Chains A and B, each alone.
Chain A
Amino acid sequence: GIQVEQSPPDLILQEGANSTLRCNFSDSVNNLQWFHQNPWGQLINLFYIPSGTKQNGRLSATTVATERYSLLYISSSQTTDSGVYFCAVRGGSSNTGKLIFGQGTTLQVKP
């Protein structure tokens, strides 16, 4: 099955700093999503981005499908950005089916 690798596994930032999180996947995908799991365990969908670039406030994401990677950018980080960031992908051609999650990047933003 499709493999998803995220890097770095852990990241510590000072408030206000910028960061880039990476997601590599082993096969072509028709669905890629980024999630944030906050310290209370809640999983929040950030982006649906199988290709191209999207921005939402201080967050943006870019997926280069032909090169099988996606990047999540966090600018001017805040302590509320702390948590685990997951990339999840779905391979194949169907628009239904399982999303496979990476192991996540744990981000800690210090005040």
Chain B
Amino acid sequence: DAGVIQSPRHEVTEMGQEVTLRCKPISGHNSLFWYRQTMMRGLELLIYFNNNVPIDDSGMPEDRFSAKMPNASFSTLKIQPSEPRDSAVYFCASSQGNTIYFGEGSWLTVV
């Protein structure tokens, strides 16, 4: 399997622009997670889905962030409008049972 695939790998955008991050989980995995990593806050869970249904979005920082999982093989994390403090690495991960597998991350810089 190709693993968890994220795109884009790197994005630089201007403040106020919409950002869409994409994730393809490992085939057959029924849980999908979006994490954000920053120096100050470490790895934070933003939201996770089980069988395409959002289970816990308590980590989503504010209304500017939204996530969808329209089917078992695709998820998006959208930031609108983006702000400089959103600059971080955004990881998508998937699991089937106990072990979680991470994508390579999307490095976002908002200037």
Please, which residues of chain A bring their CB within 8 A of the CB of B102?
35, 42-45
* B-contacting 9-mer, from A18-26, A54-62, A63-71, A98-106: A98-106
Q: Are A41 and B56 in contact (CB under 8 A)?
A: no
Number of interface residues of B (CB under 8 A): 24
Inter-chain contacts of B105 with A (CB < 8 A): 41-43
A36-53 at interface with B (beta carbon < 8 Å): 41-45, 48, 50
A95 touches which of B42, B91, B93, B97 (Cβ 8 Å): B97
| Residues of A with C-beta under 8 A to B99 | 33, 45, 48
Query: By the criterion of a CB under 8 Å from any partner CB, how many residues of chain A are at the interface?
Result: 22
B110 part of interface (Cβ distance < 8 Å): no
Answer whether residue B111 sits at the interface, using C-beta atoms and an 8 A cutoff: no
In the complex, the answer to whether B98 meets A98 with C-beta atoms within 8 Å is no
The answer to the question of B66 belonging to the interface, with a C-beta cut-off of 8 Å to chain A, is no
Residue interface mask A83-101, B partner, CB < 8 A = 1: 0001010000001111111
B43 touches A31 (CB 8 A): no
List B contacts of A48 (CB < 8 A).
98-99
Write out the residue numbers on chain A whose beta carbons fall within 8 Å of the beta carbon of B91: 43
Central interface residue in A48, A97, A98, by most chain B CB within 10 Å: A98
Q: Do A99 and B100 have beta carbons less than 8 Å apart? A: yes
- B31 an interface residue at 8 Å Cβ cutoff? yes
Q: How far is the CB of A85 from chain B (nearest CB, A)?
A: 12
B92 to chain A: closest CB distance in Å? 11
